[in-house]
Amino acid sequence: MAENIPNLHSRKAKGRIYYRYLMPDGQYESLGADRKYAIDAAIALNERRAASAEMRGAEEAEGSARKMLTLINAYEPVKMGLVKAGKSQSETARMLKRYREWMGHWSINGVTVNALDSLLREKAEAYESYRRHKILLTDIFTYAIGRGWRRDTLGNPGGALLPAKLARGKKPPKQRSRLTLEQFKSLYDYSPPWLQVALDIGLRIGIRRGDLCALKFSDVRDGCLYFIPQKTEDLSDPAALRIPLDEHLQSVINRAKLLRPQSDFLIHKQNRVTSGEAAGRVDRGQVLPEQLTRAFARVRDKAMTEQPAVWQGVEQSPPTFHEVRSLCARLNRGARPDDELQLLLGHAEFATTEIYLVENKVRWATVAAGVVV
């Protein structure tokens, strides 16, 4: 220490005295040979250093006092603005509500990887539940660090959690039966007209549920149906599909035009509920994807009750509306090239298309009974 000023040091070289300042990172900053300049500079740097330390201490004290409840309340509107309306928004809101209950009283800077891991061991035992919590918690703490509410030196405890496959083992396979053509015809007979339109279009072009509900009459022009699958619309080269209308598809669209109330959407019906998720409808006749799923399940269950022989063997894992896509793929295999079938289903890889072609039938193995005693 030179001149009794903290962090100011001097050294003699070639008959002259040179001054330098010891920075917080342990490196020296040269201040030259001018003694007065070196002293003034060192005093100014020390004052700035003290103010910075005081501010940092205040921020750390504030960070320690700030609770997770404050973070979640600030994060929620930002997140909701980025999430698509519907099931994704309601699921995110539900998870954030649980976080308020589970950890709202925790200090933001006090949250550790071990604390989150212990919490999820109790609250999220299933593979998929754990995976969703890890993704959302990582995002929440990224937001906290970016806002300066959590010291970056503490890291992101959500991101540091184990991947789902290490924390919960291998992802369990989906237990869902394939829909057969006979079953399709069975439930079709119990479906209301608007759902029959959805089933007809779904079976003919293998469209995803969300894309089907988004189709509008304005997408039909020049004798073709135009649409871009939502899963590809953000890609640099989205799958833009143009499907020529044959006599059957045109008749389906004509039936849709006769449905009431009038709507811009191909799949529409008379809706009564206007609260909750339904409040986000573009027009009163719009069918939300979740409505389509529930309506399909209702007519499927009725068909299973009325025609049990047709549905034998699928009681434990009845097919969902998504299985109409798989049925479309299986009916069209061999009738068109694989690459065209892949394009129709909107898959980036044919390997994904092949998954839809597997029938998922229960394979019974014959084994003789044991000895009689």
CA dist 7 → 52, 148, 326 (Å):
16, 29, 73
How many domains does the chain fold into? 3
Q: What is the pLDDT of residue 283?
A: 83
Q: How confident is the model at residue 237 (pLDDT cuts 50, 70, 90)?
A: low
134: CB partners within 8 A, 6+ apart:
120, 158, 161, 163, 164
The gap from C-alpha 73 to its chain's centroid, in whole angstroms, comes to 20
Q: What is the pLDDT of residue 50?
A: 82
Do 45 and 150 fall into the same domain? no
Residue 369 lies in a domain: no
> Does the pTM of the predicted model rise above 0.75?
no
Q: What is the pLDDT of residue 58?
A: 54
Residue 13 has pLDDT above 90, yes or no: no
Q: What is the pLDDT of residue 47?
A: 86
The mean pLDDT value of the chain amounts to: 85
Answer whether 241's CB lies under 8 Å from 274's CB: no
Averaged over 58-71, what is the pLDDT?
A: 72
Do 203 and 302 fall into the same domain? yes
Do 287 and 344 fall into the same domain? yes
Residue 55 has pLDDT above 70, yes or no: no
Where a domain ends, among 64, 83, 106? 64
Do 30 and 105 fall into the same domain? no
Do 245 and 116 fall into the same domain? no
Do 329 and 235 fall into the same domain? yes
Where a domain ends, among 64, 88, 107? 64
Q: How confident is the model at residue 245 (pLDDT cuts 50, 70, 90)?
A: very high
Q: Nearest CA to 62 among 106, 99, 108?
A: 108
Q: For 266-315, how does the pLDDT look when each residue is reduced to its tens digit (9 = 90+)?
A: 999 998 766 555 666 778 899 999 999 999 999 999 999 999 999 998 88
> Lowest mean pLDDT: which of 128-137, 199-208, 236-245?
236-245
Do 280 and 229 fall into the same domain? yes
Q: What is the pLDDT of residue 89?
A: 85
Where a domain ends, among 110, 135, 167? 167
In terms of residues, how long is the chain? Answer: 373
Residue for token digits 């069975």?
186
CATH number of the domain residue 75 falls in: 1.10.150
Q: What is the pLDDT of residue 373?
A: 27
Q: For 142-157, how does the pLDDT look when each residue is reduced to its tens digit (9 = 90+)?
A: 999 999 999 989 999 9
Q: How confident is the model at residue 362 (pLDDT cuts 50, 70, 90)?
A: very low
Q: Rounded CA gap, 177 and 326, in Å?
A: 11
